[in-house]
Amino acid sequence: MNWEWLREVAEEHRYKIVGGLGGFVFALLVVRFGWWALFILFCTGIGYWVGKRLDEGPESLMQILERLLPPGGRQP
C-alpha cells in the first residue's frame, strides 16, 4: 500500500475526516439512546461540512457564522 499517498490525503482533508468522524460518533451515541439511524447521516454530513469549511481555512467558517448569528452585544 502507498502510505505516502494516504498521509497526503489525510493532511489535505484532516478537518473533513475529523468532522465526519466526530459527527458519526455523536450520532451513534444518540442512536444508542433511541434516535433514528437517519440521524447518523445528518450528523455525519454536518460534521463533514464543518470540516470542509475548516479545510478551506478558519476564515471561511467564521464568515458563515457571522452571517448566521446576530452581532454580539446590544447597543443602547
What global pTM score does this model have? 0.46
* 7, part of any domain: no
The per-residue pLDDT for range 7-46, each reduced to its tens digit, is: 888 888 888 888 888 888 877 877 777 666 667 778 878 8
Phi, psi of 2 (to 5 degrees): -85, 95
Q: Are 44 and 26 in contact (CB under 8 A)?
A: no
* 32, part of any domain: yes
C-alpha cell at 73: 452585544
Number of compact structural domains in the chain: 1
* 64, part of any domain: no
Helix, coil or strand: residue 72: coil
* 26, part of any domain: yes
- Please state, in angstroms and rounded to a whole number, the distance separating the CA atoms of residues 67 and 5: 37
The per-residue pLDDT for range 41-70, each reduced to its tens digit, is: 788 788 888 888 778 777 776 777 777 777
* 6, part of any domain: no
Q: Are 53 and 46 in contact (CB under 8 A)?
A: no
